[in-house]
Chain A
Amino acid sequence: MTGADLTFDVVVVGGGHAGCEAAAAAARCGARTLLLTHKIETIGEMSCNPAIGGVGKGHLVREIDALDGIMARAADAAAIHVKMLNLSKGPAVRGPRAQADRRLYREAVQALLRDQPGLTIMAGGAEGLELDQAGGLAAIITADGQRIRCGAAIITTGTFLRGEIHIGEKRFPAGRVGDAPAIGLALAFERLGLPLARLKTGTPPRLDGRTIDWAALEAQPGDDPPEPLSWMTERITNRQVSCGITATTPETHAIIRANLESSAVYGGRIQGVGPRYCPSIEDKVVRFADRERHQIFLEPEGLDDPTVYPNGISTSLSEAVQEQVVASIPGLTKARILRPGYAIEYDHIDPRALTLALEMREVPRLFLAGQINGTTGYEEAGAQGLMAGINAARRASGGDPDASLTRSEAYIGVLVDDLTLQGVSEPYRMLTARAEHRLSLRADNAGLRLTERGIAWGCVGSERAARHRAFATAVSAALARAATDGASPAALSGFGITVNQDGRRRSVLEVLALPSLALEKIEAAFPWLRDLGPPIRTQLEAEALYAPYLRRQEAERRLLEREEKANIATTLDFDAVDGLSAEMRQRLKAARPATLGAAGRVQGVTPAALAALAVHLRRDAQRFT
């Protein structure tokens, strides 16, 4: 059916985690938005493990939420097992994670999108891109020939670009089990001369929970009460379930070793690079041959769904071998495999072709977000979708796509900077180690860091804005009081709090910073702390613990600021910079750093190359002044 042309401000292609955040964000920013996806019923599908969040990833979810995105709210609506990871460590590295009921999650996402004003959802596949004479994007062409004109488009096709699934020696084209791959778009990208490369990822077999011997296994309960991911969720209402823990055995490893040829990866049928932090069980057995067991978490996929996700045995072994592997694991000896695990190979675009707005440098108005940029994970995808959505809306309304966050402001800033500057050599996952400002970029203060930015960008609704401002005011007041209120060492010892008896009065913040001190004692000394809610208390705790470090980081940041302010013109010819080796030229040309500071972060760029670049920039500046 080829109808008359459709026209939208923003078209989002793909209904995964990047596409959903992108469509919702563009619509929140006031753009008339179309979400174009193959199947409306799989919008919001969790195609890999049924969990949202974690260390680093949980930080991203909270940031998405701070900008009024949908992921955290949907996860809360679907949460059946919630855990704050790293609870024994400080607040900066604590990461919230929710196991989600897969169906409830999908339904929550779809409901949030349905309720979003300005957003139209349409079933269909994108096959082509139409450019105008200046080389900018003009329209999306669907599989059935429909032309959709738009002010900007966001492509979020995940692993669907020339996706190919491998199960042992079987291989077939697919975007995900049961879904067709996107070949036409890959060809369109190829015609545009965009840099494509191949990656792979994998999943474990899915098990029938009714055939697992739960009684024989260690159970891991979630937190009680479960802490919501979203600021907008009062509390999680679903029944909470436990996960099971088991592990591989020497027998498992022997089976895998004997059947490595059947693995698509080890049989040499896959060339794409997989993620190191999500290795297949074959990888673990081969690379860490001395280990006798590898832990497996058994994660229920839903309250009414017997499917269990055995996290830790992602594989591309043949189905027959997968059955032997599962049967060799305690508690799973009789477990039935519902769907075999598989490896999927797919194309991604080198994200160094993108600007900080996630717009293609060579094709204005075309944005890319999610796995297509070489990332892995729902949270990484969602974060990119959100930023692309905001910027596409700005672009479509004739403004500048200049909504971006820096590395010192947000994990989202770290993510986008890493992708557009370094590119990827394996599927990119967020880790807190990537954030040099880790102590200030916490999951607990995402709103304080970002919601005002979101309000200015127009992507935050009035309800959240009001809630945020009330909280921010309360936190400032509590911090001010904790900095001024205090007690003498003698008075403190009356509450069982020992400090040097030097007569110097200690502020509440100083007392909170004392190592291993029971909170009850501090509350007894300063009863007003009891009236503060846990979120405010966490802010005080973090401020107390990290203040000296944050001051040093701030000094370090100021030191680097000059480099960050030394702009490199987009037209700079790196060949004309004296003293750069061929390798440095190539690295810098691919990364196209926008500042000297960014150039310094490009992987492999030497201090000598940076010095040469600095000399050149200064010489250039002198020439023009």
Chain B
Amino acid sequence: MSAADTIYALASGAAAGAVAVLRLSGPGTGEALRGLAGSLPPARRASLRRLRAPDGEILDHALILWFPGPASYTGEDAAELQLHGGRSVIAGVMEALTAAGLREAEPGEFTRRAFLHGKMDLTAAEGIADLVAAETAAQRRQALHQADGGLAKLYGGWAERLARLLAHQEAAIEFAEDGLPTDLDAKARAGAGELRAEIEAHLADARRGELLREGLVFAIIGAPNAGKSSLLNALVGRDAAIVSARAGTTRDIVEARLDLAGVPVTLSDTAGLREAGDEIEAEGIKRAERRAQEAQLVLTVFAADQPPDAETLRWVGPEALVLVNKCDLAPAPAAIAEVPVIAVSAREGIGLATLRDRLAEAALRLTGAGQGNQLTRPRHRAALTEAATLLAEAEGAALPELTAEALRAALFALGRLTGRVGVEEILDIVFRDFCIGK
């Protein structure tokens, strides 16, 4: 019989808390529970039990939950133990489980087992992984949607439509003599066009889902001593970057994490842009410019008491935020290079609330806030891009069998996200939709 081992892991994280949750999965779960608690509790009901070590010593009073397979998260026999969170309690129970022949799970092993038992498809499994790693509310929303099968439903729906297009095309090829409608080929091409447009719209999302999953990068750019580091410190509310009156204090990139309306953002303070004084500063400036290029949003910072410098002006544009700092020292202009400015004073705290709002707005716009069906992984993007390309090919193919060929390849590409669609499924549609056969 199956040689699957039984695994356990602390599900509540390593930090000590009031309650620690230990999760078990595998064929030996029932036996392990009996060993710890004396007998199996009723299935799927919380039961308070004394847990004992093999030598009879009481380890804890714990709430235990028993989930016989396949109606469990992993599809195997599984259990959850809610222990008191003390380190010695947890260590004692783990020791007892190890003594009973269980082993500690590898990272992601529970989800992998759930996937292998057909409890979820690949996109849902990815959603679970993201859910566990989510840092912010928007990330959590997006991951939850995916784990619930939101993407699987969208992609599965497309695969179903594609299968039908292919089936109708195959019917036209296979049963030319059966008096089928004569416009099947034209309809298949038109249907391929519609589907392609939908997939392309989904792809043209400016990578919102992926950005939310990975987190955004905002870069602060400006002349030396414009007050970039002060601004960073003021925004994150702590002294993340060293601040001094000396121009060129920041030479490398200083990063700080922000949660802006539920979106994780890495704010990067960079070296001031100017003619470099030495090799180290030159490298710092090079890094600043590279970071500004990679960033989803650039904050250009000018000082109110200085005329706008040419190096920073290069970064001003409709996509960038234009800040004028030190507005407590001199009046800020209304616009620079025709872009309206946000006047702030990092030192006095002037305009920071407005700035924070503008940043949150940008973060939400760039990530879509985790709402709806968002692409979250390059793997999805690659498969969908390929499917869209093939659908375009199907639309324009010179012969009916080439349309079918392109549709089949597109279905194969989508199948990498949703699971393979086989010939029998195609034939089922053919014979359901048409009266075939002489």
Contacts and interface: CB of A to CB of B under 8 A. Distances in A.
Interface of A: 55-56, 85-86, 89-90, 92-93, 275-279, 284, 287-288, 291, 294-297, 311-312, 422, 431-434, 436, 438-439, 515, 545-546, 549, 552, 556, 575-579, 581, 584, 600-601, 603, 606-609, 611-612
Contacts of A576: 1-3
Interface in B415-438: 419-420, 422-424, 426-427, 430-431, 435-438
B113 interface: yes
Given A312-B438, A581-B70, A608-B118, 12 more contacts: A85-B176, A276-B437, A277-B175, A277-B431, A284-B437, A295-B178, A295-B438, A297-B438, A549-B405, A579-B116, A603-B424, A608-B117
A278 B437 contact: yes
B179 A579 contact: no
A433 B118 contact: no
Interface of B: 1-4, 70, 75, 113, 115-118, 121-122, 170, 173-179, 398-402, 404-405, 408-409, 412, 419-420, 422-424, 426-427, 430-431, 435-438
Residue among A56, A578, A606 with the most chain B CB within 10 A?
A578
Contact of B174 (A297, A312, A432): A432
Contacts of A606: 118, 419
B129 to A, nearest CB: 16
B435 A288 contact: yes
A451 to B, nearest CB: 24
A311 B179 CA distance: 13
A219 to B, nearest CB: 15
Nearest to A275: B437
A609 B75 CA distance: 13
Given A278-B437, A294-B435, A607-B122, A439 B401 contact: yes
Contacts of A436: 408
A611 B176 contact: no
B401 A433 contact: no
A439 B401 CA distance: 8
A311 B401 contact: no
Contacts of A584: 118
A288 B405 CA distance: 29
B438 A89 contact: no
A608 B179 CA distance: 41
A607 B125 CA distance: 13
Residue among B2, B4, B423 with the most chain A CB within 10 A?
B423
Residue among A86, A90, A579, A611 with the most chain B CB within 10 A?
A579
A603 B422 contact: yes
B438 A311 contact: yes
A434 B399 CA distance: 19
A578 B398 contact: no
B173 A55 contact: yes
Given A438-B401, A576-B1, A433 B427 contact: yes
Contacts of A85: 176-177
B117 A579 contact: yes
A90 B117 contact: no
A147 B390 CA distance: 61
A221 to B, nearest CB: 14
Contact of A295 (B116, B170, B179): B179
B420 A607 contact: yes
Nearest to B119: A608
A291 B435 contact: yes
Ordered nearest first, which 3 A-B pairs have the shortest CB separation?
A: A579-B116, A90-B399, A288-B435
A433 B420 CA distance: 16
A579 B116 CA distance: 5
Contact of B402 (A55, A56, A90, A297): A90
22 contacts: A55-B176, A85-B176, A86-B176, A89-B173, A89-B400, A90-B401, A275-B437, A276-B431, A277-B431, A295-B438, A296-B438, A311-B438, A432-B173, A433-B426, A439-B405, A549-B405, A556-B409, A576-B1, A603-B422, A603-B424, A608-B116, A611-B116
Contacts of B409: 552, 556
Contacts of A601: 422
A284 B116 contact: no
A546 B399 CA distance: 10
Contacts of B398: 515, 545
A440 to B, nearest CB: 11
A609 B179 CA distance: 41
A611 B437 CA distance: 39
A584 B116 CA distance: 11
A89 B436 contact: no
Contacts of A603: 422, 424
A608 B115 contact: yes
B402 A86 contact: no
Given A276-B437, A439-B405, A515-B398, A578 B4 contact: yes
A578 B109 CA distance: 13
Given A56-B174, A603-B424, A277 B436 contact: yes
A55 B174 contact: yes
A561 to B, nearest CB: 15
A431 B427 contact: yes
A287 B70 CA distance: 39
Contacts of B122: 607
A439 B437 CA distance: 24
Contacts of A549: 402, 405
A191 B210 CA distance: 62
A312 B426 CA distance: 23
B1 A433 contact: no
B401 A93 contact: yes
B435 A92 contact: no
Contact of B438 (A278, A287, A607, A609): A278
Contacts of A609: 116, 118
A433 B174 contact: yes
B427 to A, nearest CB: 7
Contacts of B115: 608, 611
A429 B402 CA distance: 23
A376 to B, nearest CB: 11
A312 B178 CA distance: 10
A231 to B, nearest CB: 23
B26 to A, nearest CB: 10
Contacts of B400: 89-90, 93
Nearest to A611: B116
Nearest to A276: B431
Contacts of B422: 601, 603
A89 B398 CA distance: 10
A174 B431 CA distance: 30
Contacts of A56: 174
B34 to A, nearest CB: 23
A578 B402 CA distance: 41
A603 B404 CA distance: 21
B117 A433 contact: no
Contacts of B177: 85, 297
A226 B177 CA distance: 18
B65 to A, nearest CB: 23
A431 B2 contact: no
Nearest to A584: B118
Nearest to B75: A581
A530 B118 CA distance: 60
B428 to A, nearest CB: 9
B403 to A, nearest CB: 10
A97 to B, nearest CB: 9
Nearest to B412: A556
A433 B176 contact: no
A612 B116 contact: yes
A575 B2 contact: yes
A600 B420 contact: yes
A577 B3 CA distance: 8
Nearest to B122: A607
A434 B423 contact: yes
Given A284-B435, A297-B438, A607-B122, A86 B173 contact: yes
A494 to B, nearest CB: 24
B423 A277 contact: no
B170 to A, nearest CB: 4
